[in-house]
Amino acid sequence: MFSAAMEPTNHQIAEQLNLMSELLEIRGENVFKVRAFSRAADIISRYGSPLAPLDEKSLASIPGIGKNIAGKIREIVDTGTFRELEEIKSGIPDSLIELLRLEGIGPKTVATLWTRLSVESIDDLEREARSHRIRALRGFGEKKEESFLKAIAVYREQSGRMTRLEADAVADRVRPAFTPGTYEIAGSYRRGRSTIGDIDVVTTEPAHVINPRLRSLADEVIDEGDKRTSVRVLGKRVDVRFSRPQQFGSMLLYLTGSKAFNIRLREIAISKGFKLNEYGIEDRTAGVRREFSSEAEIFAFLSMDPVVPELREDWGEVERALTRSLPELVRQDAIRGDLHVHSSWSDGRLTIEQLARKGEELGYEYIVCSDHSATLGIAHGLDAEAVGRQSHEIELANRSSSCRIIHGIEVDILADGTLGLPSRTLGDLEIVIASVHSGFSQERDIMTRRVLSAVENDHVDIIGHPTGRILGRRQPYAIDMDRVIDRARETGTALECNASPYRLDIDDVEIRKAVGRGVRIAIGTDAHDPSEFEYMRYGVTTCRRGWASGSDVLNTLGVRDLLEWGS
């Protein structure tokens, strides 16, 4: 969920309390207890400042949070969870808890399915729905069966996958089993996809050395062998392949994928008279097999430029590698600042002064401080008057900082396409990000026109998290990104690649489209907390997957050029 070294955000605390409430309800516990947890979760997720630093007494003084729950919050901050939650979890199958992640299924439904039909997993539910046993239950009908099946399909397609943050936690947990320099994490993790199905590792250390180590750190051993071993770590699958050192390049190439890339590469090999697989390349005419200890040797052998893992999707990169015309991708070390950060003026944790220090620590030339506008009631948004006062504070901070705080705003694009602050105020700001935070269910054409009116507004520089998706939780809203991209090019508006691992919005596919049509990408971490500035690397990786070069990404501009662009 989150690493113990980091303090949990309010959102993460609320999630734990909410889960507690749901599990209590599944167990049919006292309704007041159920409600106390869900109400506390609700209050915390809307609370304006971070709770992690508060002591039990201050927590208990917040309306809606009693002494009991204040204690739980402290436990969450200190240990990542709390005892009562772990106890109730141990009495309920994990697969049953997973049912809660299906859209439209709450604890009441789960409890009924569990007690009446012994449904304990998504697979169980699917079987019951397909054999029409659900509709026999009181209060459930044919429609319900259909909606369950649809929710299962949606879930399987995307939300069974890990965020980059979860994948990093799993990767960090398994790394100690391997000796540095003898292994590589492959698969979608290495390609930098925005969500990760499972973790794949290739190692040259032998199975008899690695297997006992894996056994000791895994929650569960799924399958153990000399050629491959699969374990479950933090509830997620990890596949390990053992390779001879002289074949490591071939195995790594194969397991990095993607599958489509592998297939394309195999076709290229065939056209040159070779047979390529995870052990090497067979020269069919000469009848000899060649082995490769590194990927670089394989690309060289096939007379092509090496393809970085981020591009291996069969989106045209193989052809470009053969003609040695791959693009020069943006790099982390070219990033000169963060274009979307919240301060304690809205729902962020750091003061302006602290933002400047953080920027200096990261070696940034600038940070765009972009707090919410006041229309977003939940997050202590800024009105015109507060923007003025904030401007003064930023000016003061900038006098003694090598990292320039740029005065920005994340202004709401309201349902009718107008913005949450008057034009006059927006005109005073150095960078304006406009984002949709409400009314997600608008019809596609209306939503598209709503966002287009922000694109067309002279004050707006960047469209924030343009599709609104929250990974595993909220689908992108219906929007015609092609139209948005075209209009963004015409108006010189940038599109954000929101680097939060919960969003990664826009993603690789849209970035490729945007940069292909000359639209700039603005990477913003959307940091609310000091630990979240690190999300920049997810944003950079996503831009690389979208074929963005340095000049396509606004963050590579120096502060002077950026401000000139924004004016």
Structure-block tokens of residue 29? 């516990």
The piece of 3-11, 65-73, 107-115, 427-435 that touches Zn ion (CB under 5 A) is 427-435
- Please choose, out of 110-118, 185-193, 361-369, 395-403, the segment that lies near ligand DGT by the rule CB under 6 A: 185-193
Does residue 507 belong to the site contacting Ca ion (CB under 5 A)? no
For ligand DGT, which residue of 110, 255, 409, 523 counts as binding (CB under 6 A)? Answer: 255
Residue placing its CB nearer to ligand DGT in the complex, 193 or 545? 193
The three state secondary structure string of 109-137 is HHHHHHHHHCCCCHHHHHHHHHCCCCCCC
Q: Applying CB under 6 A, does 50 fall inside the site for ligand DGT?
A: no
Nearest residue to Zn ion by CB is 435
**How far apart are alpha carbons 17 and 34 in whole angstroms?**
10
Residue closer to Ca ion by CB (options 25, 200) is 200
Residue 435 touches which of Zn ion, ligand DGT, Ca ion, none (Cβ within 5-8 Å per kind): Zn ion
> Checking phi first, is residue 197 left (phi over 0); if not, alpha (psi -120 to 50) or beta?
alpha
Q: For the chain, how many residues are written? A: 567
Report the alpha-carbon distance of residue 128 to residue 125 in Å, rounded: 5
Q: Which of 105, 143, 99, 102 is nearest to 118 (CA)?
A: 99
**Shortest distance, position 300 Cβ to ligand DGT, whole Å:** 21
The interface partner of residue 255, options being ligand DGT, Zn ion, Ca ion, none and the CB cut-off 5 to 8 Å by kind, is ligand DGT
197 phi, psi to nearest 5 deg = -75, -60
Work out how close the CB of 372 gets to Zn ion at its nearest, in angstroms, rounded to a whole number.
Answer: 7
**Interacting span for Ca ion (CB under 5 A) from 154-162, 171-179, 195-203, 416-424:** 195-203
Residue 197 DSSP symbol: S
Point out which span in 121-129, 199-207, 283-291, 511-519 binds Ca ion (CB under 5 A): 199-207
166 is a contact residue toward Ca ion (CB under 5 A): no
Does the protein bind ligand DGT through residue 284 (CB under 6 A)?
A: no
Q: Does 198 bind ligand DGT (CB under 6 A)?
A: yes
- C-alpha span between 346 and 191 (Å, rounded): 35
Site string for Ca ion, 227-246 (x = CB under 5 A): ------------x-------
When the beta carbons of 211 and 435 are compared against Zn ion, the nearer one is 435
Among 187, 309, 381, 408, binds Ca ion (CB under 5 A): 187
Q: Are strands 199-203 and 183-185 parallel, antiparallel or unpaired?
A: antiparallel
Q: How far is the CB of 88 from ligand DGT (least distance, A)?
A: 31
- Which range in 187-195, 216-224, 470-478, 513-521 contacts ligand DGT by CB under 6 A? 187-195
| Residue 79 token pair | 């240990």
What does each C-alpha distance from 41 to 18, 63, 169 come to in angstroms? 6, 12, 24
Count of alpha carbons within 13 Å of 184, Cβ hemisphere only? 20
For the bound state, the minimum distance from the C-beta of residue 200 to Ca ion, rounded and expressed in Å, comes to: 5
Q: Which two tokens stand for residue 127?
A: 């079987």
Listed ranges 210-218, 221-229, 257-265, 444-452: which one lies at the site for ligand DGT (CB under 6 A): 257-265
Q: Which of 246, 335, 352 has the alpha carbon at shortest distance from 521?
A: 335
Among 200, 412, 430, 552, binds Ca ion (CB under 5 A): 200
CA distance 73 to 71: 5
CB of 336 to Zn ion, least distance (A): 22
Do residues 411 and 428 lie in contact, with contact meaning Cβ atoms separated by under 8 Å?
Answer: no
The DSSP element (H or E) to which 431 belongs, if any, is strand 431-435
Give the C-alpha separation, 358 to 536, whole Å.
14
* Distance from the first to the final alpha carbon of the chain: 41
The one among 435, 467, 525, 542 contacting Zn ion by CB under 5 A = 435
CB of 232 to ligand DGT, least distance (A): 14
Separation in Å, CA 284 to CA 253, 261, 436, 470:
21, 22, 57, 49
188 closest CA partner among 253, 257, 248 = 257
* Residue 128 touching Ca ion (CB under 5 A): no
Please say which residue, 187 or 337, places its beta carbon nearer to ligand DGT.
187
The partner in contact with residue 258, picked from Zn ion, Ca ion, ligand DGT, none with C-beta cut-offs of 5 to 8 angstroms by kind, is ligand DGT
- Smallest distance from ligand DGT to CB 267, Å: 11
C-alpha 367: how far from chain center: 21
- Does 192 participate in binding ligand DGT (rule CB under 6 A)? no
Backbone angles phi, psi at 201, to 5 degrees: -125, 140
Measure the CA–CA gap between 521 and 133, rounded to whole angstroms: 50
Phi, psi angle pair for 297, to nearest 5°:
-65, -35
Residue nearest to Ca ion (CB): 187
Task: Select the span of 19-27, 117-125, 189-197, 202-210 touching Ca ion (CB under 5 A).
Answer: 189-197
Q: What is the largest CA-CA distance in the chain?
A: 80
Q: Does residue 200 belong to the site contacting ligand DGT (CB under 6 A)?
A: yes
Residue owning tokens 């960078």 = 431
The residues in 358-397 that bind ligand DGT, with binding defined as CB under 6 A, are none
Residue ranges binding ligand DGT (CB under 6 A): 187-188, 193, 196-198, 200, 254-255, 257-259, 262-263
Could you list the residues that contact Ca ion (CB under 5 A)? 187-188, 197-198, 200, 239
Please give the residue ranges that form the binding site for Zn ion (CB under 5 A). Answer: 435
